[in-house]
Amino acid sequence: MNDFGSPTRTAGGIGIQARKPSATKRLAILLALVFVLFGGVFFMKWFGNRMMVQYLENMPIPPATITSGEATVMSWDNRYEAVGSLVAVNGADLTTAASGIVQAIHFESGAKVREGELLLTLDTANERGELKRLQAQAELAELNRRRREQLFRLEAISKSDYDASVAEANAAQAAVEAQAGRIAQKELRAPFSGTLGVRRVNIGQYVAAGTPIVSLQSIDPIDFDFALPEQYVGQVLPGFAVEVRVDAYPERRFKGSVLAVEPRVDEATRNFRLRARLPNTDGALRPGQFGRVVLQLPGEREVLAIPRTAISYNSYGTSVFVIQPKKAGGTDAASAAGDGTETLEVVQRFVRIGDSRGDFVAIIDGLSAGERIATSGLLKLRNGQPVTINNTVTPDVRLEPKPPQT
């Protein structure tokens, strides 16, 4: 034992004391072991994720079942469609030009009236009393004029005195006519023939000047106002035939013709307004109704059309899915399927659409005649998606679709 009581080893008669590892060395070994352990865990995690990604990337995409159609050149009659509103040829909310208490009402709500027919009378007792006074003054002024005229002929008075009497007589008569006009303002008469609306006042009610009394509309014939884009400004002329549909009568078509074309284009909307006139003998159409108009132009035009169901509308653009043979490595893989059938895929292509007609939409740019496109199942498609075509249940598309009869 050494002086401190710890054992010693001897070798060849010389005593050698064994040394223990230092604390720093033990800490370094421990850190290395931890690094190796966690490094292995992270490596296995990274390797597993990489292999999973490779598997998913190389995993074959199952084909989606769709129906197909073709871009077809069709002959459409030359017409344009727009929306608008019906307006009365003559329409107004009738009011009185003076204030007063309603004395008599001479109409019923919803009645048909003729131009000039008396509709309402306000109390005119004070005005009529004033009118009698002014008439008496006018009669007196006229008598004085006649007397002075005789005196003037006898050269008993001057020309200026006679002229003054004439002016007084004229002024008195003008006052009578003005008062009669004030009384007339307290009578409401129909300014044109038409159909009245709902009465808004009652007998004994005080009404101020300008208070709406009743609505009067002339609805046979009736006008239809609509607008078209400025590119059609040189193609539409008065006299062209129109056909109007309204939601109240979905089965009816109201026919008329263009009455007027606005000579200017609205700078804000780049549209120009048109007015068509329609016969309305049965009063089915009412001012303010919303309607859809078809403007018929001479001749026909050829368009490239596809079914509406083939169009995919998105915030970033309008597109279709074009069907083509699947390609692999730049070579045609038409025989990739083991049974010899053609392997197909869809490619999303942006298009510019034009007018619509029934179940079809005109394509202005982006497609060629004869190209096949997907017409159903668009929600499950993406660019490069393999597809199989099943046209056993194909949507029925028509230029003039009609709802099924029940």
345 and 324 Cβ atoms separated by less than 8 Å: yes
Give the residue among 209, 188, 200, 215 at the shortest CA–CA distance from 97. 209
Q: Alpha helix locations (H) across 66-212? A: 125-153, 159-184
356 and 74 Cβ atoms separated by less than 8 Å: no
pLDDT 10s digit of each residue in the chain, 406 long? 444 444 545 444 444 455 556 788 888 888 888 888 888 888 888 888 887 877 766 766 788 888 888 999 998 888 888 899 999 998 889 988 888 899 899 988 888 999 989 999 898 888 889 889 998 998 998 898 888 888 888 888 888 888 898 999 899 999 999 988 888 888 889 999 988 999 999 999 999 988 899 999 988 899 999 999 888 888 888 989 999 999 999 889 999 999 999 999 999 999 999 999 999 988 899 999 999 999 888 778 888 999 998 999 888 889 999 999 987 544 444 444 444 456 888 999 999 998 888 889 999 998 999 999 999 888 888 888 888 888 887 767 777 666 655 5
Give the relative orientation of helices 159-184 and 125-153 as an angle to the nearest 10 degrees.
Answer: 160
**Cα atoms in the Cβ-side hemisphere of radius 13 Å centred on 349:** 20
**Cα atoms in the Cβ-side hemisphere of radius 13 Å centred on 116:** 0
Question: Could you give the CA distance from residue 231 to residue 208 in angstroms, rounded to a whole number?
Answer: 49
Helix (H) or strand (E) holding 89, with range, is strand 72-95
Token pair, residue 44, equals 């296995």
Give the residue among 99, 102, 98 at the shortest CA–CA distance from 204. 102
At 249 the three-state DSSP class reads strand
* Four-way CATH pick for 82-87+212-298: 2.40.30.170, 1.10.220.110, 1.10.10.10, 2.40.10.10: 2.40.30.170
Give the residue among 275, 193, 174, 259 at the shortest CA–CA distance from 227. 275
Helix (H) or strand (E) holding 30, with range, is helix 23-58
Q: CB burial class (10 A; 0-12, 13-18, 19+) of residue 5?
A: exposed
One fold for 64-79+303-389 and 82-87+212-298: no
pLDDT at 114: 92
Question: Could you give the CA distance from residue 82 to residue 223 in angstroms, rounded to a whole number?
Answer: 15
Question: Could you give the CA distance from residue 83 to residue 271 in angstroms, rounded to a whole number?
Answer: 13
> Who contacts 47 (Cβ-Cβ below 8 Å, separation ≥6)?
none
Q: What is the DSSP string of 314-369?
A: ETTEEEEEEEEE-EETTEE-TT-STTSPPPEEEEEEE-EEEEEETTEEEEEES--T
Question: Could you give the CA distance from residue 291 to residue 181 in angstroms, rounded to a whole number?
Answer: 43
Classify domain 100-123+186-208 at the CATH topology level.
OB fold (Dihydrolipoamide Acetyltransferase, E2P) (2.40.50)
pLDDT at 339: 47
CATH code for the domain defined by 64-79+303-389? 2.40.420.20
Q: How far apart are the first and last CA of the chain?
A: 116
**Residue whose tokens read 């699947």:** 326
Give the residue among 291, 267, 273, 269 at the shortest CA–CA distance from 236. 273
pTM: 0.61
pLDDT at 259: 93
Domain ranges of the chain: 64-79+303-389, 82-87+212-298, 100-123+186-208, 124-184
pLDDT at 110: 87
**Residue whose tokens read 């004439």:** 166
At 392 the three-state DSSP class reads coil
Classify domain 124-184 at the CATH topology level.
Helix Hairpins (1.10.287)
